[in-house]
Amino acid sequence: MSGFIEFQDVSKIYNGNKVAVEDVNLSFGKGEFICFIGTSGSGKTTLMRMINRMNTPTEGKVLIDGQDVAKLQPVELRRKIGYVIQSIGLMPHMTIRENITLVQRLMKVSQVERDKTANKMIDLVELPREMLDRYPFELSGGQQQRIGVVRALAADQDIILMDEPFGALDPITRESLQDLVKDLQEKLGKTVIFVTHDMDEALKLASRLVVMSHGKVVQFDTPDNVLRHPANEFVEELLGEERLLQSKPKDTMVKEIMSPGAVTIHTDRSLNDAITIMKEKRVDTLIVTDNAGVLKGVVDVQNLNKMHSRASSVGDIMVDVPFVYETDYLKDTLQRILNLGLKTVPVVDQQKRVVGILTRGSLVDLVYDTIWGDATSSEDNTTQDDSDVSAETANQEV
């Protein structure tokens, strides 16, 4: 069955003998989130850039909705395909409004319609509309990256190409933008082709993974199947021993081990209110929500201390925070929570309302059961001393 995007016997050879991509056959459906992953030089970016003709196959064809892209005019093709890169690529001399609607302006869309689009797009990424008339240098790196994402959506393209867009960002900002991209992709039904070398990122985002090595596709499957049934030793090494181990526990949902006692504060509360709540609850971090309980970010005592004289409300100083859904499986969230090094992660329902927290400490038993559970249960003669050593090791891992 033909797909929305197809690679048919595609190869790319440079200088007559350097093979970058070799005999690739792939088919993606409309609305899929496809991640290309592999080591540097594996051919993943070369392959992705064939979709918008930034690279041309030496052999084979690339089809979009049945049309050979080689027969399409490159400029017109690229205007129909969004493109987000690591360096963001915002025009420094243009306002955020002008950046978001750049492709629309090239397509002669009216100013009224462009303004409507700019408002809609900045609302999608939950940034204030007054930022539309600022310049890129006036925004943080994470805010600029959000604008880069919605600029790719502003012209209503069906296909969005993303080339390691979050590689240069700090882990917290990166996690937040991953959540944003996945959420927008699902809401808007876009087909996203995403290049990354980060396996955690690929497993989190993809509906299917294309694992590449030396220009060849070595596995094309769902994240769950790649974890459970890696095609060869290369895929196993790319996944890493910990992920392979953590793919095996029972399908425990986050809501089964979360703590319901999340300490929250509304965005419009004052900084003095935040300090008072922290003292009363004996915590150093508050989860920030709107009046409907929808997660907006976090504020910690360090930010409060730094910004106390320059801000009036919690909403002015809150920062993004990674979150998990209560129906997520722990096997899918455990690795990234441990990697982020966070003490707590908010848990939300499908409307993104805060329903609890997942603590790093609450994951100790899961890690213990995952890595040592079968071994210890099968050894009836395990001594108390041996158990203590294993428990201590588990705590060090977490």
Q: pTM for the whole thing? A: 0.63
Number of Cβ within a 10 Å radius of residue 336: 20
Hunting for tokens 């965005």 — which residue is that?
A: 267
Angle at 204 between CA 200 and CA 208, to 5 degrees: 105
CA distance 398 to 396: 5
- For 165-220, write each residue's pLDDT tens digit: 877 677 777 888 888 888 888 888 889 999 998 888 899 999 999 999 999 999 99
pLDDT band at 392; cut points 50, 70, 90: very low
SS3 assignment, position 367? helix
pLDDT band at 244; cut points 50, 70, 90: low
Alpha helices, H only, the chain? 44-48, 74-79, 96-100, 102-106, 111-124, 141-154, 171-188, 199-205, 223-228, 233-239, 241-246, 271-281, 301-307, 314-317, 330-340, 364-378, 384-397
Tell which wins on pLDDT, 42 or 103.
42
pLDDT band at 391; cut points 50, 70, 90: very low
Statement: residue 77 has pLDDT above 50: yes
Q: Residue 295 contacts by C-beta under 8 Å, 6 or more apart in sequence?
A: 287, 288, 289, 321, 323, 346, 348, 352, 353, 354
- For 22-58, write each residue's pLDDT tens digit: 999 999 999 999 999 998 889 999 999 999 999 999 9
